[in-house]
Amino acid sequence: MNNKKIVITGAPGTGKTSIVNGLEDKDFQCFHEIIRDMTSKAKKDGDSATFVSNPLVFVDDALQFNKDLLYGRTAHFKESLDSNTSVSIFDRGIPDVLAYMDFFDQSYDQEFISTCENHRYDMIFIAPPWKEIYVSDNERLETFEEAQSIHDVLMHTYTRFGYDPILIPKKTVPERVSFVLETINQI
């Protein structure tokens, strides 16, 4: 079955996971973000005494950390190929890995680029930075200003791979979920 692959992404603290959870509550198949668990584990295993915005300072091998992210998101994508649902929702897409690597000025090889090119989504939604709802926590390490910069990098990265990202309006979660559903129904 050919299902639509929809990414909900955005900088930290933009409400994207609440939107994904709202879609899951409506019985959509959702693939949840894997970075929070990875960041939490890296902080636990590393020296987390100092607040920093880059989770990579807590890992011994930053490239392997990013490869694990790449492989995890690719596994989600491949799992969706065998799905019997008409729509699969992803809390972040494969290009997010490259966006964050660009943000933190990390180099990557052709494998990262090819993976993005060979695993295409049907639609990309980006929740924009929204200061009124931004909250930091133990796994969200970025400041609001950094979140704004990450948003710009995400927009650039998805555009670079030929996507036309759709901005999710700053409204209540149910209104944002409705916006996503109405937009998906147009394709």
Q: pLDDT digit string (tens) for 51-97?
A: 444 455 556 788 888 999 999 999 999 999 998 899 999 999 999 99
Q: Over 60: is that where the pLDDT of 174 sits?
A: yes
8 A C-beta contact, residue 7 and residue 124: yes
Domain boundaries, the chain: 4-184
pLDDT at 38: 56
CA dist 166 to 23, 56, 152, 154, 162, Å? 17, 29, 13, 12, 13
Strands, sheet with 4-10, edge to edge from the N-terminal-most edge strand: 29-31, 87-91, 4-10, 123-127, 166-167
Q: Over 90: is that where the pLDDT of 128 sits?
A: yes
Mean of pLDDT over the chain = 86
pLDDT at 49: 46
| Per-residue DSSP letter, 52 | -
Q: pLDDT digit string (tens) for 146-157?
A: 889 999 999 999
| Residues in contact with 73: Cβ distance below 8 Å, sequence separation at least 6, in sequence order | 34, 90, 92, 93, 94, 96, 97
Mean pLDDT computed over 96-117:
95
Residue % of the chain over a pLDDT of 90: 66
Mean pLDDT computed over 96-116:
95
Mean pLDDT computed over 24-28:
95
pLDDT at 14: 92
Q: Over 50: is that where the pLDDT of 121 sits?
A: yes
Q: Which token pair is 175?
A: 């209104």
29-31 and 123-127 as β-strands: parallel, antiparallel, unpaired? Answer: unpaired
Instruction: Look up the CATH architecture of domain 4-184.
Output: 3-Layer(aba) Sandwich (3.40)
Three-state helix/strand/coil letters over 74-127: HHHHHHHHCCCCCEEEEECCCHHHHHHHHHCCCCCCHHHHHHHHHCCCCEEEEE
Q: Determine the straight-line distance between the first and last CA of the chain, rounded to whole angstroms.
A: 16
